[in-house]
Structure 1
Amino acid sequence: MWIATETCALGPYQPDLVETYWRWEQDPGLLVGYGRQSPQTLEARTEGMAAQLRGSNIRFTVYDTTKDTPVPVGVTTLLPDDSVRTAEYIVMLGPEARGRGLGTQATRLTLDYAFHITNLRMVWLKVLAPNTAGIHAYERAGFQRAGTLRQAGYWLGEVCDEVLMDALATDFTGPSAIKNLLRG
């Protein structure tokens, strides 16, 4: 694991976890949250992972560190646009990890990495408006609402808005796992 809090850590995106990642992605709660209507086969996911590992996106496996042995519970991703020093943020948590604050911690650790290692100036995301739990978790991690894409998504088969949120490096305050490592 690379960076951690007391309850959560980020580690490498691992090819040997492809079946676990795929299982999370097939969860109906995740399909609704992403607005995607169809599941994917394990074979297609395995092929997609090979391309992801060759790409320039920054991916982490999220670990729950509250147990004796850290357990993988999700993935965070930064999709950088190097020309403007920004990135889109995506998080995926398995059903067993939701509602425990791990998403907020993983998001905060990913922002810490984005601002203190990758030197991004801004990270943004889109979240479906009915996903109020997600919006609140993003706000606790440091994101702010930046706008709305009207009727841009689907939630439980109904058209809905997408909320745009962003986090700026200049606003990223509070404890930093990266800075603590360097001071260590």
Structure 2
Amino acid sequence: MSDIAEPVLWAEAEGIALGALRADLAREYWRWESDPGAVLGYGRQVPESPESRAEGLEHQLRGAPDQARFTVYDVRGTDPAPCGLASLLVDHQVRTAEFILVVAPEARGRGVGTTATRLTLDYAFHVIGLEMVWLKVLEPNTAGRNAYAKAGFREVGTMRSAGVWKGRRCGEVVMDALPRDFQGPSVYEGRGSQNRTAVRWWASAPAKAARV
């Protein structure tokens, strides 16, 4: 941990928590987003410089009414360990949001992404009051598609030849989640910001879904 105060964790479940963005994590955010696995998953071909990412973070730290951005923490150890970013890009006119997730390469395969996604959906439905959250994932990214499905998203269509995967054109799958699909209790209801709550959602989710 750095020498700054311990981060405030807004919500926690199954050893994963969400907190605020942090200026001191700018280089870590850049490292996670520039990792080849993340770049491949985005279908993005040109990596961003750390200086450019730091400038973008300055804007994000000031906040905007159409954005909800979180640092993801693994709290299963002695200290909360930053391990990802989760974002909701909100369209207030129609009460929907696009969901974007980045998990640190060293944290993949440990269930971080699935639980962080559930916590973010919980926030979207029970704090912001959104009617739908959606995302896009490249069609060959089966691990990502399975993990999002385990977290509560459903595939609703494919945009043909909309992305690039390993140098080849591919489809981009659209997935969405609705409040009625949220089968478990909310970690944000009836609790203080410092309470830690273990919750299990979507008990009927596919058992073979990938862990990210």
Partner of residue 124, structure 1: 134
1:165 matched to 2:162? The reply is no
Is the Cα–Cα contact under 8 Å of residues 3 and 9 in structure 1 kept in the other structure? Answer: yes
- State how far apart, in whole Å, the 1-side matches of 2:151 and 2:191 are: 20
The structure, 1 or 2, with the larger RCO (C-alpha pairs under 8 Å, 6+ apart) is 2
In 1, the alpha carbon distance for the partners of 2:189 and 2:118 equals: 13
Q: If the length of structure 2 is used for normalisation, what is the TM-score?
A: 0.83
Percent identical: 56
Residue 160 (structure 2) aligns with: 150
Q: What stretches of structure 1 of length at least 5 have no aligned partner? A: none
Offset at residue 175 of structure 1 (A): 3.4
User: Which structure has the highest helix share of the two?
Assistant: 1
Q: Please report the TM-score for the alignment, with normalisation by the length of structure 1.
A: 0.96
**What is the match of residue 91 of structure 1?**
101
**RMSD after superposition:** 1.2
Structure 1 Cα separation of the partners of residues 158 and 14 of structure 2: 34
What is the CA–CA distance in structure 2 between the aligned matches of 1:45 and 1:9, rounded to whole Å? 23
Q: Which moved more, 1:83-92 or 1:167-176?
A: 167-176
2:98 alignment partner AA: E
CA distance in structure 1 between the partners assigned to 2:189 and 2:141 by the alignment: 32
Aligned to 2:44: 36
Query: 2:74 — aligned with what?
Result: 64
Matched position secondary structure for 2:29? helix
Between the aligned partners of 1:136 and 1:180, the Cα distance in structure 2 is 31
Q: Which sections of structure 2, spanning at least 5 residues, go unmatched? A: 1-8, 196-212
1:37-56 matches, cutoff 5 A: 37-54=45-62, 55-56=64-65
* Paired position in structure 2 for 1:9: 17
1:113 paired residue number? 123
Classify the secondary structure of the residue corresponding to 1:38. coil
Q: 1:176: how far off?
A: 2.2
Please give the alpha-carbon distance, in whole angstroms, between the structure 2 residues aligned to 1:174 and 1:110: 14
- C-alpha displacement of 1:174: 1.6
Residue 75 in structure 1 maps to residue 85 in structure 2: yes
**8 Å Cα contact 1:121-1:170 kept in structure 2:** no
How many residues end up aligned between the 2 structures? 183
